[in-house]
Amino acid sequence: MAHKVFIDGEAGTTGLQIRDRLAPRADIELVQLDPARRKDPLARHDALAEADIAILCLPDAAAREAVELAEGLPVRFIDASTAHRVAPGWVFGFPELTAEARDTIANAARVSNPGCYSTGAIALAAPLVAAGLVAPDEIASINAVSGYTGGGKELIAEMESPGAPAHFTYALAQGHKHLPEIIRHAGLSRRPVFAPSVGQFAQGMTVQIPLHLNGRRIADLHDALAAHYAGARFVRVVEPAARVVPTALNDTNELHLSVHGSDENGCAVLVAVLDNLGKGASGAAVQNLNLMIGAAEDAGL
Ligand SMILES: NC(=O)C1=CN([C@@H]2O[C@H](COP(=O)(O)OP(=O)(O)OC[C@H]3O[C@@H](n4cnc5c(N)ncnc54)[C@H](OP(=O)(O)O)[C@@H]3O)[C@@H](O)[C@H]2O)C=CC1
Ligand SMILES: CC(=O)N[C@@H](CCC(=O)OP(=O)(O)O)C(=O)O
């Protein structure tokens, strides 16, 4: 029997991409609302009651509201928003993070997708911190550039208007919503300085973590990441390229990690490339859904 899935926020940037991935599947039946009632709490409650799994592709407040609307219902959740990434009772939906993560996600009632920047930063830092190769207080800064779909419908409209900038840096006041989840799930003990930016391209992102080597070798960092992700279907540790292109993995659920730098000069940059709407959002949600319903991890991806 098909699994009933309700995408709350189906008309948004993340929701549409999840719908496109799920609509052709015979093992999934989408529970859909009349578009005119898509924000009506009663209609959303009825959809939550009908669904086996709800994927929340909403602003944080609306995601919290959906969970309240479902009180007492057996529906399981995947939340793409920031609302529950460090919340008690929620499983962090990053299947490649630990050896146990896939089983934990498969059996969870409430799974929170990691954020897009966080996916890159945590993927780079967590295995190195866990292996003792990077100290929990060592990561001083994280820099990133994202395609403008990362800001949802509002930023898309702004960046596709005449006079839109080619690039801007933002959130420099250090209150970015991804920092709590990066600190928690990468195992950091000190808040890194985070400097994200947006470029005049729709999808794709690069996340960079600069490090001083302090006696470590580039190969030590590369090998530790490669060992951690050995056998992962969607995460690959690749050789450093002369140019890193944020759009290189668009329309995939892949995440590529690389270690750049020079033993001689004592400096390194850890680099992650992903599609903010792939492994950074919609692809990740479908991967988690697959685990939760016992489908092949890469079904529809
Ligand atoms: N875009 C990205 O790259 C990523 C996004 N996310 C997260 O996913 C979530 C959705 O983001 P995104 O798709 O980009 O945002 P969008 O703004 O593109 O879409 C949000 C959708 O939610 C709808 N909505 C708003 N309030 C309600 C409500 N009360 N009830 C029902 N629907 C509502 C909006 O309706 P309307 O159409 O009327 O505006 C819109 O369709 C966010 O929490 C974001 O942080 C996570 C990772 C990456
Ligand atoms: C470019 C842009 O604006 N990106 C968003 C992050 C992406 C997003 O909204 O979603 P998640 O937090 O769920 O990943 C931001 O910086 O707030």
pLDDT digits (tens, 9 = 90+) for 84-113: 999 999 999 999 999 999 999 999 999 999
Complex ipTM tops 0.90: yes
This prediction's pTM:
0.96
Regarding whether 260 and 135 lie in a shared domain, the answer is yes
Residue 295: the pLDDT is 97
Query: Is residue 235 in a domain?
Result: yes
Regarding whether 93 and 162 lie in a shared domain, the answer is no
* Mean pLDDT of the 262-266 span: 97
Regarding whether 265 and 248 lie in a shared domain, the answer is yes
CB 198 within 8 A of CB 263: no
The torsion defined by the Cα of 131, 135, 137 and 140, in degrees rounded to 10, comes to -100
184, pLDDT greater than 90 = yes
CB 269 within 8 A of CB 207: no
**Strand locations in the chain (E):** 3-8, 28-31, 53-56, 76-79, 91-92, 110-112, 141-146, 167-169, 193-199, 205-212, 235-237, 255-262, 267-274
Regarding whether 177 and 94 lie in a shared domain, the answer is no
116 is catalytic: yes
Residue 1: the pLDDT is 82
260, pLDDT greater than 90 = yes
Regarding whether 128 and 99 lie in a shared domain, the answer is no
Mutate to test the pocket of ligand 2, among 14, 117, 168 (most ligand atoms within 8 A of CB): 117
Q: Exactly one of 80, 116, 121, 134 is catalytic; name it.
A: 116
Regarding whether 141 and 61 lie in a shared domain, the answer is no
Give 136's pLDDT tier (boundaries 50, 70, 90): very high
| Ligand 2 closest atom vs CA 147 | 1
CATH code at position 201: 3.30.360.10
Query: Is residue 126 in a domain?
Result: yes
What percent of the chain is predicted at pLDDT more than 70? 100
Regarding whether 132 and 82 lie in a shared domain, the answer is no
| Ligand 2 closest atom vs CA 113 | 13
Q: Which ligand sits closest to the CA of 198?
A: 2
What pLDDT digit, counting tens, does each position of 10-53 carry?
A: 999 999 999 999 999 999 999 999 999 999 999 999 999 999 99
Query: In whole angstroms, what is the distance from residue 209 CA to residue 143 CA?
Result: 7
72, pLDDT greater than 90 = yes
Specify the number of domains making up the chain: 2
Q: Which ligand sits closest to the CA of 177?
A: 2
Please give the distance, rounded to the nearest whole angstrom, from the Cα atom of residue 216 to the centre of ligand 2: 33
Instruction: Write down the mean pLDDT value for the chain.
Output: 97
Query: Is residue 300 in a domain?
Result: no
Alpha carbon 176 to its chain's center: 15
Tokens of 171: 């959130």
Q: Is 108 in the pocket of ligand 1 (CB under 6 A)?
A: no
Regarding whether 143 and 88 lie in a shared domain, the answer is no
Q: Which ligand sits closest to the CA of 13?
A: 1
Please give the distance, rounded to the nearest whole angstrom, from the Cα atom of residue 56 to the centre of ligand 1: 8
Regarding whether 107 and 129 lie in a shared domain, the answer is no
Query: In whole angstroms, what is the distance from residue 142 CA to residue 153 CA?
Result: 26
Give me the sheet containing 193-199, strands edge to edge: 167-169, 193-199, 141-146, 205-212, 267-274, 255-262, 235-237
Regarding whether 68 and 27 lie in a shared domain, the answer is yes
* φ, ψ for residue 198, nearest 5 deg: -125, 135
* Mean pLDDT of the 208-220 span: 97
Q: Is 281 in the pocket of ligand 1 (CB under 6 A)?
A: yes
* Mean pLDDT of the 104-129 span: 98
What percent of the chain is predicted at pLDDT more than 90? 100
Query: Is residue 95 in a domain?
Result: yes
229, pLDDT greater than 90 = yes
Residue 60: the pLDDT is 96
CATH code at position 102: 3.40.50.720
Query: In whole angstroms, what is the distance from residue 169 CA to residue 157 CA?
Result: 18
Give residue 142's domain range: 116-276
| Ligand 2 closest atom vs CA 171 | 16
Regarding whether 132 and 48 lie in a shared domain, the answer is no
Residue 268: the pLDDT is 98
Please give the distance, rounded to the nearest whole angstrom, from the Cα atom of residue 147 to the centre of ligand 2: 10
Please give the distance, rounded to the nearest whole angstrom, from the Cα atom of residue 228 to the centre of ligand 1: 33
Q: Is 112 in the pocket of ligand 1 (CB under 6 A)?
A: no
127, pLDDT greater than 90 = yes
Please give the distance, rounded to the nearest whole angstrom, from the Cα atom of residue 254 to the centre of ligand 1: 22
CB 186 within 8 A of CB 133: no
Q: What is the SS3 assignment for 166?
A: coil
